[in-house]
Amino acid sequence: MARYRVGLETQERILEATRTLLAQEGMEGLTLKRITERAEVGVGSFYNLFDSKEAVVFEVVRQALDAVDPHRGDGGAGDTLEELVDAFVTFMTGSSTIARIYLQLAGLGLSDPAIAARVLRSHRRRVERFTAACRRDDPSLDAEAARERAETIMAALTGLGLTALIDPGFDMRAHAARLVVGGPTATREA
Contact indicator for 40, 16 with CB cutoff of 8 Å = no
Domains of the chain by residue range: 1-50, 53-189
Q: In this model, does residue 185 exceed pLDDT 60?
A: no
Spatial distance between the Cα atoms of 11 and 155, rounded to a whole number of angstroms: 33
In the chain, the percentage of residues whose pLDDT exceeds 70 is 88
pLDDT digits (tens, 9 = 90+) for 107-148: 878 888 888 888 888 889 889 999 999 999 999 999 999 999
Name the residue among 30, 132, 17 with its Cα closest to residue 81.
132
Which CATH number fits the domain 53-189, given the four candidates 1.10.357, 1.10.3470, 1.20.1260, 1.10.1760? 1.10.357
Q: In this model, does residue 31 exceed pLDDT 90?
A: yes
Task: Please tell me the pTM assigned to this model.
Answer: 0.75
pLDDT digits (tens, 9 = 90+) for 154-181: 999 999 999 998 998 999 999 999 998 7
Is 1-50 CATH 1.10.3720.10? no
